[in-house]
Amino acid sequence: MAGICDGRVAVVTGAGRGLGRAHALEFARQGALVVVNDLGVELDGRDGDAGGGPARAVVEEIVARGGAAVADHHDIATWDGAAALVRTALDAFGKLDVLVNNAGFLRDRMLINLSEQDWDDVIRVHLKGHFLMLRHAGAHWRDQYKLGNLNDARVVNTSSGAGLLGSIGQGNYAAAKAGIAALTIQAAAELGRYGVTVNAIAPAARTRMTEAAFSEMMARPEDGDAFDAMAPENVSPLVAWLGSDRSRAVTGRLFEVEGGKVGVADGWQHGPTVDKGARWDAAELDAVVADLLRRAPAPGPVYGG
C-alpha cells in the first residue's frame, strides 16, 4: 500500500469499530503502519476479546489488504495504559508519527438525572484519555527534539458538534468534547516547537454510539446505490490528510466533517466591546449588554433543542 501517509506510523485509539476502525483502515490504505488500539470489551462490559477482539479483527483486515498493523488493548484513560500504547508503537515500528485520539462512549442523561458516575466515566475516557495520550506522545516527541531528531508529527483529536454548540441530554459528553476543543488549541501552542501539529475534528457519522441516540438521522439510505452520508468512512480521508506531511502548515484548528462536507469551525474569539474607562454601575449595564448582544453574532442552536 502507498499513499499520502506512506511509511508513517499512526496510533488510532478506539479503533476496533466505527470511526476508529474506518480511520485505521484509511491510514493503512494511505501507506501508514497502524497501531490499532481497542480495549476489546463490549460497551455493556462483556468480554469482546474471545477471538482476539475487535482490534485484532481490524489488524487482520489491514494485513489481508497488504498493510502492516499491530493490535493494542491498553486503557488509554490510565497513565500507565497511555504510556504503554506509545511504547507499543515504538516497539513495533520504531517511531511514532501520528496520534489519532478517537476512543469514547456515551452515558446520556438530562443534567438533572445525570449521576456522578455517568459524569466521571465520560469525562475520564474522552477528556482524560485525550490528555494522557497527548502527555505521553508529546513527551516522546520532546525527547526526540532534544536529541536533535526532527519531528514531523501529527495529532488529530476528536471533538463533536455537541462540544461546540451543546446537545440536549448529553451534558457530560458536551463538556468533555468542549474541553477537547480547548485542549487542542493548548496542545498546538505548546507542542509546535517540537515539530508537532495538533488539530481536531467534529464528525457526524453512524457509529454504535450514534445509531441508538439519533436513529433517524443515522439511518442508511433505502436506495443501496445512494450516497451514504453517515458512513464513518466519509470522515477518515480528512483524518488521514491531517496525519500526513501535507498538513504541516495547519495546527490548532477544528474541522467539522459530515458526508461529503468539510468545514472549519469558528470557535471562541473576542467580540464586540465597550470600555467606559472606569468601573460600571450595575444598573448601567442594561443598555450596554443589550448593545453588545445586538452587535455580536447569534450562537448556533443547541442540538436537540
Question: 271, 242, 66: which is closest to 157 by C-alpha?
Answer: 242
Cell digits for 126? 474522552
What is the distance between the alpha carbons of residues 260 and 228, in angstroms, rounded to a whole number?
10
- pLDDT tens per residue across all 305 residues of the chain: 679 999 999 999 999 999 999 999 999 999 999 999 999 754 444 444 444 699 999 999 999 999 999 999 999 999 999 999 999 999 999 999 999 999 999 999 999 999 999 999 999 999 999 999 999 999 999 999 999 999 999 999 999 999 999 999 999 999 999 999 999 999 999 999 999 999 999 999 886 655 555 555 556 666 677 888 989 999 999 999 999 999 999 999 999 999 999 999 988 899 999 999 999 999 999 999 999 999 999 999 999 98
Active site residue: 128, 159, 160, 236, which one? 160
DSSP codes joined into one string, 43-102: TTS-B--TTSHHHHHHHHHHHHTT-EEEEE---TTSHHHHHHHHHHHHHHHS---EEE--
Cell digits for 53? 477482539
Active site residue: 159, 173, 194, 247, which one? 173
Q: List Cα–Cα distances, 168 to 20, 171, 203, 223, 304, in angstroms.
A: 25, 7, 18, 31, 5
159 in active site: no
Cell digits for 170? 448529553
Q: What is the pTM of this model?
A: 0.91
| Residues in CB range of 206: below 8 A, 6 or more apart | 218, 220, 230, 231, 232
215 in active site: no
| Residue 117: alpha-carbon gap to chain centroid | 22
**Predicted local confidence at residue 216, as pLDDT:** 59
**Predicted local confidence at residue 226, as pLDDT:** 81
Question: 165, 152, 110: which is closest to 245 by C-alpha?
Answer: 152
194 in active site: no
Active site residue: 159, 177, 194, 247, which one? 177
Give the largest Cα separation in the chain, rounded. 71
Q: What domains are defined for the chain?
A: 9-264 (3.40.50.720)
Question: 79, 93, 88, 191: which is closest to 141 by C-alpha?
Answer: 191
DSSP codes joined into one string, the chain: --STTTT-EEEETT-SSHHHHHHHHHHHHTT-EEEEE---B-TTS-B--TTSHHHHHHHHHHHHTT-EEEEE---TTSHHHHHHHHHHHHHHHS---EEE--------B-GGG--HHHHHHHHIIIIIHHHHHHHHHHHHHHHHHHTTPPP-EEEEEE--HHHHH-BTTBHHHHHHHHHHHHHHHHHHHHHGGGTEEEEEEEEE---HHHHHHTHHHHPPPSSTTS--TT-GGGTHHHHHHHTSGGGTT--S-EEEEETTEEEE------------SSPPPGGGHHHHHHHHHHHSPPPPPPBT-
Backbone angles phi, psi at 24, to 5 degrees: -60, -45
